[in-house]
Chain A
């Protein structure tokens, strides 16, 4: 769920780890994952692409530092290939606005559209005009319902979902010395992105850490309820060694609950960078690590997959970018690697 990646994000524990794509991450239709590092527009064809005078539109679902990093990655790749970015939009999570943005951008006759379809159902009709016009569509994370590869779209690009959950499990286990009890707060919705990340955490703990047991499980759909959920979890399990939180927004609520309880021993691990969560981590608080994706690389891979599609080359249907474990020790490099930006001053000065 890319829209969970809002606000600035942050720092923490092991060392900067990035892992190649694993077969465990699968696409919305069960597609096997291809690492983004293998989706490359070769230097030999750059001149040919540049001569094509192609145009691209970036039609995003929202604005955030995550989207900015994806945009930067895509824009730099397009600049290398001599492709003009003719429109950049934000739908603010409004499906009707996304449809309007697509129609408006089509007036500029783009050859490429990069976008995160807001949801499979409403976006099916929204992208139909672009699809029928033969625009190369590269989607971030979501796929409009009924769209078939390769005739309808170039690729879906997303995080290495399994690796994010696995690295979160490894980081939390390391912070707990490989033993203790854990609470698991997962995204209570049917969404393959968060579901795979959450389940990878659980599967890794269960398979790789025999001395750690998951003693509490709680789903969350409204981030505003995170504090209540954490309070209830701590009431029943006061000796909880660690809590996994499905993404950074609710992790802020869990952190508030721990602080309110004067709890300094329970460790938190979460996904996606967030400045408040990262600040706790660099100050030696409850947060042990944050696992993030390489957003800049996501943008580059989206652009590259669309260009390869334009060139008539075979493009893998489901592409994943690496995960990065960010800890207090590598917050500057981790932030840069994930968002292609320096961390906020509050973190860098710690």
Chain B
């Protein structure tokens, strides 16, 4: 009795809300929409496929927020990365296109990181500025044109392909979440990220190279956005300047609902995965319920508000 009570008392509501919320909403949709195709393996797979780019962006953001930083520019990075890969692949082989896409993401991330770490500028303002900067660059890159991606190896690898019946987007998600979780939980870098986010001055005193950690997390954010851009380009078989534009709020909500603190020092890669899947499941389920578009937005907003309120209320104690 006492042990059970202690266990219950020690249950971290902030970390747990995503598991409870995910399960509750899944059960709700499963019960109400079982005749509407929600539980079909095709539909459930679709949710994972549709959320793969957002999940990967969310992993980068978990690291940035945990270190006390934020990246608002990753949506723009997605478009630059996807367009870079698509344009380069019109003239060069696929590996060069992949390098161009990932390289663009990493380079922009490093640019953000250098300004924050060594320019000593706040990441919020730096990435707010670069969000606009790279959105503009994405528009000028191809003069607002969409670029088709015709390389079937690329669209298979990053979009519609399968390995042993497992869709490639699921594999990318699993790899990114697996590596992200291990690095976050079990490596020195992960520990340093949390230490910097918890108390940067104390981390500095204890010998952690705070500036370098900040550079790394923002570069990682850029790299994750770069990979997300490749996934979008593969999935749509095209790249467009609007890709990623609407992902910013979804990804931030997924990460926060997933138990990562906005002010640093605490986070969860698995939570971000579930947060991202939760967002996708809400989109999917509310459409299948037959709600009109405005009602879908209202219900989605209320559920996210509820989840975030529970998370943040716990944090503020």
Could you list which residues of chain A lie within 8 angstroms of chain B, going by C-beta atoms?
60, 63, 85-90, 92-97, 99-101, 103-105, 107-109, 119-122, 124-126, 145, 189, 221
Contacts and interface: CB of A to CB of B under 8 A. Distances in A.
A165 B37 CA distance: 46
Contacts of B42: 107
A125 B293 contact: no
Nearest to B45: A103
Given A87-B290, A93-B242, A107-B40, 16 more contacts: A88-B292, A89-B287, A90-B293, A92-B246, A94-B246, A96-B235, A100-B46, A100-B50, A100-B283, A101-B287, A104-B46, A104-B283, A107-B43, A121-B146, A121-B240, A122-B146
B134 interface: no
Given A107-B40, A125-B236, A95 B46 contact: no
B38 A95 contact: no
Interface in B145-166: 145-148
A95 B37 contact: no
B73 interface: no
Which among B235, B236, B280, B283 has the highest number of chain A CB atoms within 10 Å? B236
B240 A95 contact: yes
Contacts of B46: 100, 103-104, 107
Contact of B43 (A104, A121, A145): A104
Contact of B238 (A86, A92, A122): A122
B284 A96 contact: no
Interface residues of B, number: 35
Contact of A103 (B36, B38, B50, B146): B50
B294 interface: yes
B60 interface: no
B37 A122 contact: no
Interface string B218-240: 00000000000000100111101
Nearest to A221: B144
B287 A87 contact: yes
A96 B232 contact: yes
Contacts of B40: 107
B288 A122 contact: no
Contacts of A121: 145-148, 238, 240
28 contacts: A87-B288, A88-B290, A88-B293, A89-B287, A93-B242, A94-B246, A95-B242, A96-B235, A99-B236, A100-B283, A101-B287, A104-B43, A107-B36, A107-B38, A107-B43, A107-B284, A119-B240, A120-B146, A121-B146, A121-B238, A122-B146, A122-B237, A122-B238, A125-B235, A125-B236, A125-B237, A126-B236, A145-B148
Contacts of B147: 121
A105 B283 CA distance: 11
Nearest to B148: A121
B243 A95 contact: yes
B288 A108 contact: yes
Contacts of B37: 107-109
A96 B50 CA distance: 8
Contacts of A99: 50, 235-236
A94 B242 contact: yes
Contacts of B294: 63
A125 B290 contact: no
Nearest to A125: B237
Contacts of B283: 100, 104
Nearest to B47: A104
Q: Which 5 A-B pairs have the closest CB atoms?
A: A107-B37, A121-B146, A125-B237, A100-B50, A90-B293
Interface string B16-55: 0000000000000000000011101011001001100100
B245 interface: yes
A218 to B, nearest CB: 18
Nearest to A100: B50
B205 to A, nearest CB: 45
B290 A189 contact: no
B237 A124 contact: yes
B86 to A, nearest CB: 10
B238 A125 contact: yes
Contacts of A126: 236
A104 B290 CA distance: 11
Contacts of A107: 36-38, 40, 42-43, 46, 284, 288
A94 B36 contact: no
Contact of A97 (B145, B237, B246): B246
Contacts of A89: 287, 293, 296
B242 A189 contact: no
A22 B236 CA distance: 36
Contacts of A124: 148, 237-238
Nearest to B50: A100
Contacts of A122: 146, 236-238, 240
Interface string B273-298: 00000001001100110101110100
Contact of A63 (B53, B238, B243, B293): B293
A96 B241 CA distance: 12
Contacts of A145: 148
A172 to B, nearest CB: 29
A119 B241 CA distance: 12
Given A87-B287, A89-B287, A94 B245 contact: yes
Contacts of B238: 95, 121-122, 124-125
Contacts of A60: 293
Nearest to B285: A104
Given A96-B232, A122-B146, A126-B236, A104 B288 contact: yes
A189 B288 contact: no
Contacts of A119: 146, 240
Contact of A104 (B53, B237, B284): B284
Contacts of A108: 36-37, 288
Given A103-B46, A108-B37, A96 B287 contact: no
A204 B270 CA distance: 63
